[in-house]
């Protein structure tokens, strides 16, 4: 038995309670799926933003994009419906878009000023905040698979260029010649080494990067992004997509985000993490947080968009360009595919 006088005991108990309370406030919040399982799932994907206009896009081309978005959505959603993880759903959707030459990711990616393809990708697990990313890869057929492998099979978060290629080889990932990624459309239309150093891409640019964010039945979020970067980029240039917090971010405490647009501005605005911070520390709903982040990128002088998803399955897809290729499956199971429309949330 404690034989301290009662006022001292009460005081000690208060001190212990205060210390415990203070400690609890300082402990970082790690929100695991099992803290709040949800039976609902959701998946949102994008295929890039840009100066898209319904008047200038042929019906056939528009239909081709819609079909490609639906295919990627189907692959990712099948994973979720089978009880698979948000990470697997993100990877499945992105792998599908990496194979489709319509998008600026893996096969069909834009060319550097030297006429080669250099790929960037990242993936992030919202439950653990584990992440994997790579930049400047020239031979890995599916960069998103390499990002996943970096996250799961290495101690590191990010690999660049030769180191990333060597790690991919060591992990037995499929490697291809750089030519595999270069399509005739890219060769003829883009990637000619400019006579002068490339200028900053203007608002006419199309950013065909691909990304996905998912919520699984366990209540976990994940995000991923894969890209060839921006057209005529200098070789060695790194965009926002593989930078955790800039083009890709996921945390169960707030949301999962994937960005597309002028990467330089998304890096400077730490865009993806800004959406999460506006929710976590500012108490904003995901739609407002995402829209304000795009507004801030515009104030910096950049254009683009984000897809964002919270643990309740709320979806936001704001953009400041003429359009953004995007599609999603709501928690209620309904599918939406959009290209132009408003840049407002959803």
Any idea which residues carry the catalytic annotation? 209
What secondary structure letter does DSSP report for 198?
P
**Is residue 260 near ligand ASP by the rule CB under 6 A?**
yes
> Does the protein bind ligand ASP through residue 191 (CB under 6 A)?
no
Q: Are strands 158-160 and 131-137 parallel, antiparallel or unpaired?
A: parallel
3-state class (DSSP) for residue 259:
strand
Does residue number 48 form part of the binding site for ligand ASP (CB under 6 A)? yes
Window of 12-20, 177-185, 206-214, 330-338 that interacts with ligand ASP by CB under 6 A: 206-214
Contact 122, 243 (CB under 8 A): yes
From the list 69-77, 138-146, 237-245, 287-295, the region that binds ligand ASP by CB under 6 A is 237-245
| One residue of 108, 191, 219, 263 binding ligand ASP per CB under 6 A | 263
How many Cβ atoms are within 10 Å of 101's Cβ, its own excluded?
18
As a whole number of angstroms, the distance between CA 303 and CA 296 comes to 10
Closer Cβ to ligand ASP, 209 or 291, answer by number: 209
Of 285 and 343, CB closest to ligand ASP: 343
Query: Closest separation between CB of residue 17 and ligand ASP, Å?
Result: 49
Nearer to ligand ASP, 108 or 263 (CB): 263
CB of 148 to ligand ASP, least distance (A): 20
**CB-side neighbour CA atoms (13 Å) of 300:** 20
User: Please, which of residues 304-323 interact with ligand ASP by CB under 6 A?
Assistant: none
In the bound state with ligand ASP, the residue whose beta carbon lies nearer, of 41 and 258, is 258
Q: How far is the CB of 320 from ligand ASP (least distance, A)?
A: 13
| Three-class secondary structure of residue 89 per DSSP | helix
Of 143, 239, 313, 323, the one binding ligand ASP by CB under 6 A: 239
Q: Which of 207, 249, 319, 325 binds ligand ASP (CB under 6 A)?
A: 207
What does each C-alpha distance from 269 to 54, 175, 297 come to in angstroms?
Answer: 29, 34, 6
Q: How far apart are the C-alpha atoms of 154 and 167, rounded to whole Å?
A: 9
Please select the residue that binds ligand ASP; options are 126, 261, 269, 323, rule is CB under 6 A.
261
Phi, psi angle pair for 31, to nearest 5°: -100, 110
Of residues 49-108, which lie at the interface with ligand ASP (CB under 6 A)? 104
Q: Is 135 in the site for ligand ASP (CB under 6 A)?
A: no
C-beta separation of 286 from 308 below 8 A: yes
Alpha-carbon span 242 to 263, nearest angstrom: 10
In the chain, DSSP finds a helix count (H) and a strand count (E) of 9, 13
| Three-state secondary structure call for residue 168 | helix
Q: Can you give the binding site for ligand ASP, defined by CB under 6 A?
A: 48, 104, 207-209, 227, 229-230, 239-241, 247, 260-261, 263
């Amino acid at each position: 038995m404690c034989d301290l006088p009662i006022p001292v005991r009460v005081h000690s108990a208060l001190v212990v309670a205060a210390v415990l309370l203070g400690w609890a406030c300082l402990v970082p919040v790690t929100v695991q799926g099992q803290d709040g399982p949800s039976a609902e799932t959701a998946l949102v994907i994008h295929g890039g933003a840009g100066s898209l206009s319904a008047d200038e896009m042929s019906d056939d081309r528009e239909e081709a994009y819609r079909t490609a978005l639906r295919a990627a959505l189907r692959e990712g959603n099948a994973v979720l419906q089978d009880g698979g993880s948000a990470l697997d759903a993100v990877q499945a959707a992105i792998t599908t878009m990496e194979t489709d030459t319509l998008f600026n990711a893996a096969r069909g990616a834009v060319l550097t000023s030297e006429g080669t393809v250099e790929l960037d990708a990242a993936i992030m697990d919202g439950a653990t905040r584990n992440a994997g990313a790579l930049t400047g890869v020239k031979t890995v057929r599916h960069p998103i698979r390499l990002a996943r492998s970096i996250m799961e099979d290495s101690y590191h978060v990010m690999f660049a260029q030769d180191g990333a290629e060597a790690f991919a080889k060591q992990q037995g990932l499929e490697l291809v010649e750089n030519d595999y990624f270069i399509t005739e459309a890219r060769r003829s239309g883009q990637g000619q080494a400019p006579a002068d150093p490339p200028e900053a891409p203007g608002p006419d640019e199309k950013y065909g990067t691909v990304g996905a964010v998912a919520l699984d039945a366990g209540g976990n979020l994940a995000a991923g992004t894969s890209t060839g970067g921006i057209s005529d980029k200098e070789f060695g240039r790194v965009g926002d997509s593989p930078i955790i917090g800039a083009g890709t971010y996921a945390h169960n405490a707030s949301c999962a985000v994937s960005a597309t647009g002028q990467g330089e501005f998304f890096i400077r605005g730490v865009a993806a993490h800004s959406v999460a911070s506006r929710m976590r520390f500012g108490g904003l709903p995901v739609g407002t947080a995402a829209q304000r982040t795009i507004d801030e990128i515009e104030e910096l002088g950049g254009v683009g968009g984000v897809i964002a998803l919270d643990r309740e399955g709320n979806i936001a897809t704001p953009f400041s360009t003429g359009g953004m290729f995007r599609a999603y499956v709501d928690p209620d199971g309904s599918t939406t595919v959009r290209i132009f429309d408003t840049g407002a949330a959803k």
